[in-house]
Amino acid sequence: MNAIKRFFSDISAPQRVFLVFLCVHFTLWTLLPLLKTTMHPDSLEAINWGLIGGWVNDKHPPLSGFLANFFWQIGWQTDISIYILAQICMIIAFVYVYRLGRLIFDDERKAVLSAMLLGGVLYYAMTASDQFNCNIVSIPLWAATAFYVYRAIYRSNATDLSRRSAAKAEWIFAGIAVGLNMLNKYSAIFQVIGIGAYMLTSPAARAQLRRPWPYVGAIVAAIIFAPHVVALWQSRFISLMYLNHNTITNSPFLRFIEPESFTLSLIAAAALSIVIYLFAVRGAERATIKNRDAGTFLLMMILVPFAALVADAVIMNLEISTMWGIPLLILCGTALVYFWPRKIDDHVWRRAIIGVYIAMAVFASISLGHYIFNNSRRIHFDHNKFATDMDAAWRAQTRGAPMKFVRGDTWFASIMSLYGPQHPRTIFDIDGYYKKELNAENLGEYGILLVGLRTEEIAAQLQILGRDAPVMKYDYTNKNMLGRGKDFQMFYSIVPPEAKE
């Protein structure tokens, strides 16, 4: 107890406020999702990717799967382990944003506020708590990359020789962050483009291009990403093919409206943070911007990745998912404090802190109501009963044969892999890369369970397999926390093992 008291006495008052915020945020958004009875499909899918292993999967690079499966295993295969992982990602992101703020601002309150304002961003509260996926892993990696790149340039231009020497290590750390970011999701390339734009437009950053250490960092990033590139080539670019599922029609109207819709979704997600800051600083004295280069850095790290992402989507005719914008807002608090400069006196400081906690309470209340009243299958679904029923149906039709493979709707298939008594292996595709794991010999020896939301899905898979089996319906009722139910149905087909002669 004395050690804790000494720790709190040794840190500054703003740091104590920040530490309390981190603890409250972590606790609230780890425990609140436990009111659900099932995890989000993205979380289940990520764990499943990690269980299967390998440096490539059917959608993204492998890092989010590695992390999800690791925490799933060390957390005794409980849902809370994944909720903890998501909040660890958020806490790391907040800390890096704070550390970046310490480099940009001469007022520690501004550094703390730039991180705490992120508590008012929808994506970093409700979304991050509810669904762990590669977008959540992107958040701390984008923050870490921004911090290490900026500090590397900051230290490289310092007059202190020891700081200039330390910049070499910062470039290596930046390379590690970029490499891990690319190993998590391909959209990390948009942040790399932003870094390149900053290196070319800022005189202080441009001077580093004549030195070897930025290129050393690039080599480190390439080494980390290399195993995935090899696996991607061997898989005939299976994860890149996932983009084909996000294409939209050739309608000129839809192609025009997509960027505007995406932009509005980002503004809406950050709206509460903007309101909190503007409310807190109203009437406050304007502050002087001393670090002009930081403004260039923030613009290049926010606007350039955004523009690159939108341009890529328009050129590739892709539907822009709002989830793609999650990491783009990681510096929005820093940008607010920098580009709307005001002196943070005691009055402004108190209003800002109160505003952040009001935002947290608002988001928590919405989530609580969602978990109590919603009877969606993604919130309240008895996955253990479903897995047991499917296993019983399989045993009845195959005379007790072991269930080795499951394929179909990702959510149902992942439930069988994670919660089913026999933990069958999910086959993510049956006519491409994973075909080598489910060849004609394996199919004949073990059979496969096919699951889906529509009979057409099952029929299409049976056609690819060249097998004929009845498609059956499974009815179930989801009940919310008040006991009100909603009926749903899904379909499945059991392809039994071939009889041995």
Can you give 167-193 as a three-state secondary structure string? HHHHHHHHHHHHHHHHHHCCCHHHHHH
How many helices (DSSP H) and strands (DSSP E) are in the chain?
21, 5
Q: What was the pLDDT predicted at 6?
A: 66
> At CA 6, angle to CA 4 and CA 8, rounded to 5?
70
Pairing state between β 471-479 and 405-408: unpaired
471: three-class secondary structure by DSSP = strand
- Residue 258 forms part of a structural domain: yes
Are 182 and 189 a contacting pair, CB within 8 Å?
yes
Rounded to 5 degrees, what are φ and ψ at 286? Answer: -70, 140
CA 500/CA 497 separation, integer angstroms: 9
* Residue 476, φ and ψ in degrees, nearest 5: -150, 160
Domain assignment of residue 243, yes or no: no
Whole-prediction pTM value? Answer: 0.94
C-alpha–C-alpha distance, residues 415 and 418, integer Å: 5
What 8-state DSSP symbol labels residue 481?
A: T
H or E stretch at 432: none
Residue 482 lies in a domain: yes
Residues 335 and 427 in one domain: no
What is the model's pLDDT at position 466? 85
The secondary structure of 325-367, three-state, reads: HHHHHCCHHHHHHHHCCECCCHHHHHHHHHHHHHHHHHHHHHH
Residue 81 domain flag:
yes
Residues 328 and 461 in one domain: no
378 inside domain:
no
Q: What is the pLDDT of residue 471?
A: 96
Q: Report yes or no on 74 lying in a domain.
A: yes
For residues 352 and 423, state if they share a domain: no
The residues that bridge with 426 in the sheet, in sequence order, are 406
Question: Residues 423, 301: one domain?
Answer: no
pLDDT per residue, tens digit, the chain (501 aa), is 666 666 666 789 999 999 999 999 999 999 999 999 999 999 999 999 999 888 988 889 999 999 999 999 999 999 999 999 999 999 999 999 999 999 999 999 999 999 999 999 999 998 888 889 999 999 999 999 999 999 999 888 766 666 667 788 999 999 999 999 999 999 999 999 999 999 999 998 999 999 999 999 999 999 999 999 999 998 888 888 777 666 655 555 556 677 888 899 999 999 999 999 999 999 999 998 888 899 999 999 999 999 999 998 888 777 788 888 899 999 999 999 999 999 999 999 999 999 999 999 999 999 999 999 998 888 989 999 999 999 999 999 999 999 999 999 989 999 999 999 999 999 876 545 444 566 667 788 899 999 999 999 999 989 888 889 999 999 999 999 998 999 999 999 999 998 665
Q: Which domain holds residue 420?
A: 383-495
Q: Which residue in the block uniquely carries the two structure tokens 């978990």?
A: 371
The verdict on 310 and 393 lying in the same domain is: no
Q: Do 425 and 363 have their domain in common?
A: no
Assess contact for 116 and 21: CB atoms under 8 A.
Answer: yes
Do residues 80 and 227 both lie within one domain?
yes
Q: Are residues 431 and 457 in the same domain?
A: yes
Cross-strand bridge partners of residue 405: 425
C-alpha dist (Å) from residue 211 to 144, 207, 214, 310, 347: 22, 8, 7, 32, 46
Q: Among residues 341, 373, 405, which one ends one of the domains?
A: 373
Burial category of 483 from C-beta neighbours within 10 Å (exposed 0-12, middle 13-18, buried 19 and up): exposed
Total domain count for the chain? 2
Residue 136 forms part of a structural domain: yes
Instruction: Tell me the CATH number at 454.
Output: 3.30.110
Task: State whether 299 and 335 are in the same domain.
Answer: yes
Say whether 472 sits in a helix, a strand or coil: strand
Same domain membership, residue 400 and residue 285:
no
Q: Residues 151, 156, 160, CA angle at the centre, nearest 5°?
A: 105
Give how far the C-alpha of residue 263 lies from the chain's centroid of Cα atoms, to the nearest Å: 19
Residue 468 per-residue DSSP state: -
Tell me which of 373, 400, 424 is where a domain ends. Answer: 373
3-class secondary structure, 448: strand
Tokens of 166: 């330390």
480 and 427 both lie in a single domain = yes
Q: Is 428 found in the same domain as 365?
A: no
Domain boundary among 373, 394, 425: 373
Spell out the residues 6+ positions from residue 474 whose beta carbon is closer than 8 angstroms to its own: 386, 389, 390, 489, 490, 491, 492
Residue 276 within a domain: yes
- The kind and range of the H/E element at 476 are strand 471-479
Q: Are 53 and 423 in contact (CB under 8 A)?
A: no
